[in-house]
Amino acid sequence: MKTALVNVFRATFGRAPEFISRAPGRIEFIGNHTDYNGGTVLGAAIDRGVWVALAKRDDGQRRWVSDQREGVVTLSAEGVARQSGVQSWVNYPLGVLAAMPTFGLRVPVGFDYLAMSDLPTGAGLSSSAALELASGLAFLAATQQRPSRETLVSVGKHAENHFVGVPCGILDQGVSGFGRKNHLVYIDCRGPRFSTVPLPDGAHFWIFNTHTKHALVDGLYAARHSECMAAAKTLGVGLLVEATPVTVRAAENTLAPAVFKRARHVVEEIARVEQASAALRAGDRAAVGKLLTASHRSSQSLFENSTAELDFLVDTLVGMPAVFGSRLTGGGFGGAVMALTSGDFGDAQAKAVSDAYEKRYGARPDVLHAQTGDGAALVTV
Contact 377, 137 (CB under 8 A): yes
* pLDDT value at residue 217: 44
User: 350 and 215 in one domain?
Assistant: yes
User: 221 and 194 in one domain?
Assistant: no
Q: What amino acid is encoded at 280 in this protein?
A: L
pLDDT in tens, 29-55: 999 999 999 999 999 999 999 999 999
Radius of gyration of the chain (CA): 21
User: 192 and 210 in one domain?
Assistant: no
User: 355 and 215 in one domain?
Assistant: yes
In whole angstroms, what is the distance from residue 216 CA to residue 227 CA? 15
Chain-centre distance for alpha carbon 86: 22
Number of H helices, E strands in the chain: 11, 12
CB neighbours of residue 164 within 10 Å: 18
pLDDT in tens, 223-277: 999 999 999 999 999 999 999 999 999 999 999 999 999 999 999 999 999 999 9
User: 163 and 283 in one domain?
Assistant: no
Full domain range(s) for residue 230: 204-370
* pLDDT value at residue 215: 53
φ, ψ for residue 225, nearest 5 deg: -60, -45
pLDDT in tens, 350-372: 999 999 999 999 999 999 998 89
Residue 144 in this model has a pLDDT that exceeds 70:
yes
User: 127 and 80 in one domain?
Assistant: yes
Element housing 19 (H / E) = strand 19-30
User: 296 and 246 in one domain?
Assistant: yes
Which of the residues are catalytic?
172
The domain tally of the chain equals 2
95 band by pLDDT with thresholds 50, 70 and 90: very high
Q: How do strand 110-117 and strand 61-66 relate by DSSP bridges?
A: parallel
User: 217 and 188 in one domain?
Assistant: no
Provide the whole-model pTM. 0.90
User: 178 and 43 in one domain?
Assistant: yes
